Amino acid sequence: MAEPSPLPAWAAALAEWQETRALPLWTQAGIDQTSDTVWEALDYHGAPLRELNRRQRVQFRQANVFARSPDPQIQDLGWRLFRRTMAHGFDPETGLFSAWISPDLQRLDQTHDLYDLAFGVLAAAHLGAAGFDVAPDIARLEEALSRLRGAEGWRETAADRQPRRQNPHMHLFEAMTALYALTKDPAHLAMAQHCLDLIADHALTKDARLLEFFAPDWTPLEGAAQAHEPGHLAEWIYLADRFTATTGLASGLPLPEMWQRVQDSRLPSGFLPDRDGDTTRRLWPQTEFLKAACVMSRPETAVGLRPSDIAAQLWESYIPPSLGGGWYDQFDETTGACLSENMPASTFYHIDSAIEACCRV
């Protein structure tokens, strides 16, 4: 068997940063050692912000990152984190999943958010791929999702929060694609395909813009109630490609046109704005820009910016050596000032998948 091709030097450097800087920080300082939960954020010295409430989806996101590590001890940490969230996240009387927990780990609501549950499925899929028995958890998450099923797609929350958004459906698509890779269950493929069809039918315009907000019947909202987030458009490029790689099925999405639209959205600095028309730029859209560039840089699709150039600019601006394994979250494009006050744990999910994408180039 032929040896795998060595990573390009720039991608190997990212992987080394993750292994030697990021994972040690977020599996040590980033963990509440008394409860096997993760802190919502760290300060710029790497100390936990203990007074912050914690999003349950961040617990799932970090479990997902840890599950994908090659280190068995980190995988086991991800498993403990996931199991605690599954065991304590659901209200015992209503069965609804809480979006937030307090600093003393009390459930603060019964939102039962599609976005949160999608990340539970994603974590379960990758923990299953790492060898953990997630079958009971998958069954519980499937039942939780069934409580949100609507005539077309899924409701945002148990209380049917409005407006409807494409974003939770995008992450459910991501999660079900990963789960199908594990189970080969046609029901999981069907759920992924349904999410894909929703986006193609309602959210993606003829000129390759991605709409974010919708009425209950999937009619797009208009004017100031609508938004275009180029980071999400880039994310769809990557996820559609992973769907095809996993299932062998074409996504049907116009990836070259979407990629051109993403590139056209860049700010003068070369970064993506948080939304079209904004002068702020968070880190996560840049990681999705990088992932899309990895897809679109293959010989059969190569067009536009090189992933290595995007990665170099991203790391220089957002992930300087002075922060160890941490990051700046948001900048003002006009002044160059950093707007974020801490390092949110939730961003590691985006960085982790971006580094994985780079290692496939």
Q: What is the CA radius of gyration of the chain?
A: 19
Whether the predicted pLDDT of 6 surpasses 70: yes
Confidence band, pLDDT 50/70/90 cuts, at residue 331: very high
Whether the predicted pLDDT of 300 surpasses 80: no
Handedness of CA 332, 333, 338, 342 (dihedral sign): positive
Domain annotation covers residue 255: yes
Domain annotation covers residue 99: yes
Strand-strand pairing, 37-38 and 330-332: unpaired
Domain annotation covers residue 229: yes
Q: So what's the pLDDT on residue 301?
A: 55
308 in Cβ contact with 8 (< 8 Å): yes
Q: So what's the pLDDT on residue 71?
A: 98
Q: What is the pLDDT of residues 206-243, one digit of tens each?
A: 999 999 999 999 999 999 999 999 999 999 999 999 99
Name the domain count of the chain: 1
Strand-strand pairing, 37-38 and 164-165: unpaired
Q: So what's the pLDDT on residue 310?
A: 96
Q: So what's the pLDDT on residue 1?
A: 45
Q: So what's the pLDDT on residue 304?
A: 67
More confident residue, 88 or 303: 88
Domain annotation covers residue 224: yes
Q: Which H helix or E strand runs over 117? A: helix 114-129
Domain annotation covers residue 203: yes
Domain annotation covers residue 133: yes
Mean pLDDT of all residues in the chain? 96
- Overall average pLDDT of the 106-126 stretch: 99
DSSP state string for 165-195: ESHHHHHHHHHHHHHHHHH--HHHHHHHHHH
145 in Cβ contact with 137 (< 8 Å): no
Q: What is the pLDDT of residues 133-147, one digit of tens each?
A: 999 999 999 999 999
Domain annotation covers residue 71: yes
Which CATH number do you get for residue 135?
A: 1.50.10.10
Domain annotation covers residue 2: no
Domain that holds residue 326: 15-358
